[in-house]
Amino acid sequence: MIWAEISFFSKWWNDIDEQKRAMVKRLLKAGQLEMVTGGWVMSDEANSHYFAMLDQLMEGHQWLQRHLGVKPSAGWAVDPFGHSPSMTYLLKGAGLQNMVIQRVHYAIKKHFAQQHTLEFLWRQSWDSSSHNDITCHMMPFYSYDVAHTCGPNPSVCCQFDFQRLPGRRLSCPWRIAPQPITEENVRERALLLLDQYRQKSRLFRSSVLLAPLGDDFRYTESSEWDVQFNNYQKLFDYFDQHPELHIKARFGTLSDYFQALHRRLNATGTKLPTVRGDFFTYADRDDHYWSGYFTSRPFYKRLDRSLESLLRASEILFSLTLADMRRFRGDDHPADTFPAQELFAHITSGRRNLGLFQHHDGITGTSRDPVVLDYGTRLFHSILNLRQVLQDSAHWLLLMDKKKYLHDSSKAFLLMATQDALPLKMPLLLSDKPRTLVIFNPTEQFRTSVISVVIDSPDAAVVEAETGRAVDSQVSAVWVEPSRASTEAFQLDFVAELPPLSLVIYHVTEASVGSSFRAQYTFLHHSKTQAVPGPALPEGAAAVGSGPPAAGPVSVVRNQSQPGKERRLSVPAQPGGGPALLFTRTSSGSGLQRSGLLRHHHPLPARHAQSELYHLDGPAGRSLEISNLVDIRSEVNNELAMRLLTDVANGNRFYTDLNGFQMQQRRTLPKLPLQANVYPMTSAALLQDSASRLTLLSAQSQGVASLKPGELEVMLDRRLQQDDNRGLGQGVTDNKLTASLYRLLVEDRRGGAQSGGGASVEHLSLLAHLSSLSLSHPPITMVATGDEQLPKLRPFQPLRSSLPCDVHLLNLRTLEDEQVETPSVEAALLLHRKGFDCG
């Protein structure tokens, strides 16, 4: 027997007595039970970011080590809808040597079967050595149930699923029922099964065969164990009694299979082929490509990444707080009143809720409505709890006199600013007395960022608390409706200089009337396009203008550091692209805001989507920030996409990232239907030619395509009334008002790509990596309460300098003590050195 997902196993473990726990350990030691993969869930491999994939793997492995003392050696991923080499890299790094996959395009399975390459060494596209290779077994047939695992004929194989015997709760859809194995029919039944085994074995290079006996929601009652074991044992006994059949069959675990496989391969000197790349987009039959789930329920995909960012920030700040407390006290204990165990429980819950959502029916958006609501509730509660972790950790770190630390749960020291939450924005109340803002930079890089907060006054002043230096700021409108600004709330934007992993303090006060720099607005109507006066742009910044209405809004992206270099980018005003996608823009006019800090461009009014383009000084000014606010709740059977039109001559090739970990080349094939040319984008997609590269960085997972040269289509949302007959049993109609966030980067190219198994291997540039990092992990703003009674604070800066540009601090993860849900004195430091493009 094998078991894969620890989230469900741990719930069962918590409810059983010590006698049953001892029995489980005996079965594990005897090799009758094996824990495979060992992740918190069987993770999706298209939408999940590698941070979350690794985090749920660590959570599961640490649970296994702590409770059972075992370490998985084989992976089992039979239900994710396509497979990514990023996951294989993480599995190999976690100590696994072998793995099984199932959901691969039926034509690829056919090709691999013809070439006898269904078992192969899976190698990373960028890897020149075999160090990270993992042995992979690809199941050859339609499904992983018993009817599709013994051989090529499901009507025959189903007869050997004895849970479907007449009178039991299941039956065979091919209307040929299984028969109990008796002395009278054992020969006929054994030869029928053997024929299927032999036909399947001809697809592989080894005579060792894997035939799993299981399916969804099986072995829930003891009678199924008995009926399967007893009937199969009679067949196995018959095989043993007739050596002329040349078969030896027995029950085993997944590791038993791979051990036998490797013994046979070594004995015969057979070498497995090497395969690079991924297995997207999956199709199970005909033109039924499973690309819709790359975008389904985008609200929750965005919420997932928000929780992921908050969990990472909380982990790092909590670990730094515990370390600082131990240094201050001179022992291994936190401050007496610091709620370390309570906060660590919040972190553990956050890890597990994030991990649970990585399930291949979670982040994919392929669960039924009540399950989706449960996921959303878990994610939201974890966000609230992790905010508490950040606030309490920052409380200690900011205090100048640590002896005055006192935790009082009834009196919050800091509150998270929630201005970015949808849809409510609460204004910060100002007066002539300073309000204290604490900004946490969760990244390992020094950054200059524009901090935005909503205030109740049209005039405000910002100073850096430590130096008293006045900070550049501006006040912008908060739009209640697309054409009406609020008179009670205003957006304050100011530039903050944030050292790596620092907590920096700013004071905000109400200023005299008319003293603040205010954003200037000019309304541009399609019939009256006009120039917009404003300050000159700084060197290296991106310039954005508006073009003629017939072509839709046109942006000329110009690199000021190289005069004469510019790229054209536009968003078409008309729907197009075919029946599977709806490209919609319904604005009748647009507003352009221009100022020294940032610029917005947004259509007015916009029933479906609003876009904003920001101009920022410094490195952040090398990219354009685009935000969409999508609402298709009134639509019927429509899918909304954002199309970018450029003059990049990329041909039919483009690139998307795999889980935020690496880039994968894609080719648009006109002979295939539109849905076959849609691929997953976790955090980046790019078009390039010999002279330039256009990179779209994303803060959430979505489907992406390049249907024509120079085009990039991003799927924003979809609303479908009907079921797709793939197990969900309903349409997807629980759409919400959803925000999506991007950065667009244009770069010159000077070098070529390296080759990797016939496809070029590309990486993001260092600038793109840093832009993606700041997009995914924005600064976190906290507001001090009770400013009059605040003790003296000082900024917290744990690093003297930034880490190297290609080194990412993935996490600083406090480990659990032997006592459950208690933090230990150890923390796991996870660093990722990123591959980058030098051209």
Contact between 322 and 340 (Cβ < 8 Å): yes
Q: Are 111 and 86 in contact (CB under 8 A)?
A: no
Residues 6+ apart with CB under 8 A from 389: 314, 317, 318, 343, 346, 347
Tell me, what DSSP letter sits at residue 281?
S
Q: What is the rounded distance in angstroms from the CA atom of residue 235 to the CA atom of residue 54? A: 42
To the nearest 10°, the Cα dihedral for 549, 551, 552, 555?
-110
| Amino acid making up residue 174 | W
Peptide bond before residue 212 is cis, with ω within 30 degrees of 0: no
* Residue carrying structure tokens 């339609």: 142
Nearest CA to 566 out of 535, 545, 548 is that of 545
- Which residues touch 370 (CB under 8 Å, ≥6 apart)? none
C-alpha 458/C-alpha 510 separation (Å) is: 9
Name the strands in the sheet holding 600-604, side by side, starting at the edge strand that comes first in the sequence.
Answer: 520-525, 589-594, 600-604
Residue 53 φ then ψ, to 5°: -60, -45
617 catalytic? Reply is: no
Q: For residue 428, what are its two tokens? A: 């910060």
Buried b / exposed e along 372-398 (16+ C-beta atoms within 10 A): beebbebbeebbebbbbbbbbbbbbbb
- How far apart are alpha carbons 232 and 194 in whole angstroms? 12
As a whole number of angstroms, the distance between CA 368 and CA 386 comes to 27
Q: Are 688 and 674 in contact (CB under 8 A)?
A: no
Reported in sequence order, the residue ranges of 106-246 that DSSP labels E, i.e. its strands, are 119-123, 134-138
Paired tokens of 682: 């976790």
User: How far apart are the two ends of the chain, measured CA to CA in Å?
Assistant: 51
Identity of residue 492? L
Spatial CB neighbours of 819, under 8 Å, sequence gap ≥ 6: none
474's tokens: 């501006």
Q: How far, in Å, CA of 16 to CA of 821, rounded?
A: 19
Cβ contact 559:566 at 8 Å: yes
Contact 438, 784 (CB under 8 A): yes
Angle formed by the axes of helices 369-398 and 298-329, nearest 10°? 30
Catalytic residue among 17, 55, 79, 647: 79
Q: How many CA atoms lie within 13 A of 519 on its CB side?
A: 26
Is the Cα dihedral 430, 432, 433, 437 positive or negative?
positive
Q: Cite the active site residues.
A: 79
